[in-house]
């Protein structure tokens, strides 16, 4: 019997990006991710090389399995008897299959948790579009409500603070005080950032807000202000299209040229190890 503690929902859906789990899944996965963008297989092969370095298996699905197990354990401890479903955008289990299973089980209303914490087309709105399209294709699909962007939720921020403090503590004594904090997230086109969120520029603004809070919490804990910067990774697309900068590698080279003795890289934009 469904507990009233989660009413009116009768299931939780974890929605994620997906990733390959074997070498022969890498290229089909990359083609799905880039569908409609006209990226040739030659370019995708360059990206596939990153997966080959890890045996052709992304860690993201295993991370999601662990997260689902943790959600199930937490719900059970709170005596909330609802199933935790899983759907991916770009690899099995696909959303359409998840919704067909939900309809067959008679589920009517689902709360959706995404593994993306920030607002932009690719990290928020596209997930909503995928949800709508998948649900529209399944007769009797359940009603869906998605949780808010959680970039500023304490349970998201505090683990980042703890991990940053732990990384600083691991640095040798003679370089720790001079270390810089480098907050890293996925770059997106400048135009996408301009249109993100209800008033625009939410993607960049939310990352800056989260990074500022983490840096300040670290300062309070260590009684020292470490210089910090938000930087970006994984730029793609044509060279004439402006993306958010600076690139993480360019920034690290500039710090090295200035004889900065140490850096702590803080993946503020990500909730899971990936490529």
Q: Is residue 246 part of a domain?
A: yes
pLDDT of residue 175: 97
Q: Are residues 172 and 122 in the same domain?
A: no
pLDDT of residue 42: 86
Q: Are residues 131 and 201 in the same domain?
A: no
Overall number of domains in the chain:
2
- CATH number assigned to the domain comprising residue 216: 3.40.50.1400
Q: Are residues 117 and 235 in the same domain?
A: no
pLDDT of residue 6: 67
Contacts of 150 (CB under 8 A, 6+ apart): 117, 156
Q: Which of 169, 185, 186, 164 is nearest to 264 (CA)?
A: 164
pLDDT of residue 1: 42
Q: Are residues 125 and 192 in the same domain?
A: no
Q: Is residue 38 part of a domain?
A: no
Q: What angle do CA 11, 13, 17 make, to 5 degrees?
A: 175
Whose structure tokens read 């359409």? 96
- Judged against a pLDDT cut of 50, whether residue 234 lies above it is answered with yes
**pLDDT band for position 238 (cuts 50, 70, 90):** confident
Looking at residue 44, what DSSP letter applies?
H
Give the pairing type, strands 11-16 and 180-186.
unpaired
Q: Are residues 135 and 175 in the same domain?
A: no
Evaluate whether 60 touches 15 at the Cβ level (below 8 Å).
no
Q: Are residues 11 and 87 in the same domain?
A: yes
Q: Are residues 192 and 214 in the same domain?
A: yes
Q: Are residues 257 and 161 in the same domain?
A: yes
pLDDT of residue 33: 87
pLDDT of residue 4: 55
Q: Are residues 186 and 169 in the same domain?
A: yes
Q: Is residue 113 part of a domain?
A: yes
Q: At which of 95, 124, 146 does a domain end?
A: 146
Q: Are residues 108 and 183 in the same domain?
A: no
Contacts of 58 (CB under 8 A, 6+ apart): 19, 20, 21, 51, 274, 275
Q: Is residue 86 part of a domain?
A: yes
Q: Is residue 42 part of a domain?
A: no
Taking only the tens place, the pLDDT of each residue in 111-121 is 999 998 998 87
Q: Find the range with the poorest average confidence among 65-79, 139-153, 215-229.
A: 139-153
Evaluate whether 168 touches 222 at the Cβ level (below 8 Å).
yes
Mean pLDDT throughout 265-274?
Answer: 86
Q: Are residues 93 and 166 in the same domain?
A: no
**pLDDT band for position 196 (cuts 50, 70, 90):** confident
Contacts of 25 (CB under 8 A, 6+ apart): 56, 91
Q: Are residues 131 and 174 in the same domain?
A: no
Domain that holds residue 108: 4-19+58-146
């Amino acid at each position: 019997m469904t507990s009233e503690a989660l009413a009116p929902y009768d299931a939780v859906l974890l929605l994620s990006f997906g990733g390959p789990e074997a070498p022969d899944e890498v290229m089909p996965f990359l083609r799905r991710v880039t569908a409609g963008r006209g990226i040739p297989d030659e370019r995708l092969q360059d990206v596939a090389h990153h997966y080959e370095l890890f045996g052709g298996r992304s860690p993201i699905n295993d991370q999601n399995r662990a997260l689902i197990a943790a959600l199930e354990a937490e719900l059970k401890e709170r005596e909330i008897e609802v199933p935790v479903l899983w759907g991916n955008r770009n690899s099995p289990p696909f959303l359409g299959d998840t919704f067909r299973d939900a309809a067959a089980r008679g589920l009517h209303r689902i709360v959706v948790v995404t593994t993306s914490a920030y607002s932009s087309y690719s990290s928020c709105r596209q997930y909503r579009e995928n949800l709508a399209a998948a649900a529209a294709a399944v007769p009797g699909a359940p009603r869906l409500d998605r949780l808010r962007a959680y970039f500023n939720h304490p349970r998201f921020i505090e683990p980042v603070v703890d991990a940053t403090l732990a990384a600083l503590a691991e640095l040798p004594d003679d370089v720790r005080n001079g270390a810089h904090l480098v907050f890293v997230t996925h770059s997106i086109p400048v135009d996408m950032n301009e249109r993100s969120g209800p008033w625009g520029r939410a993607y960049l603004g939310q990352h800056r807000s989260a990074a500022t809070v983490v840096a300040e919490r670290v300062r309070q804990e260590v009684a020292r202000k470490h210089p910090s910067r938000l930087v970006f990774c994984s730029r793609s697309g044509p060279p004439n299209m402006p993306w958010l900068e600076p690139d993480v590698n360019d920034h690290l080279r500039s710090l090295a040229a200035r004889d900065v003795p140490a850096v702590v890289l803080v993946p503020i934009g990500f909730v899971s190890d990936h490529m």
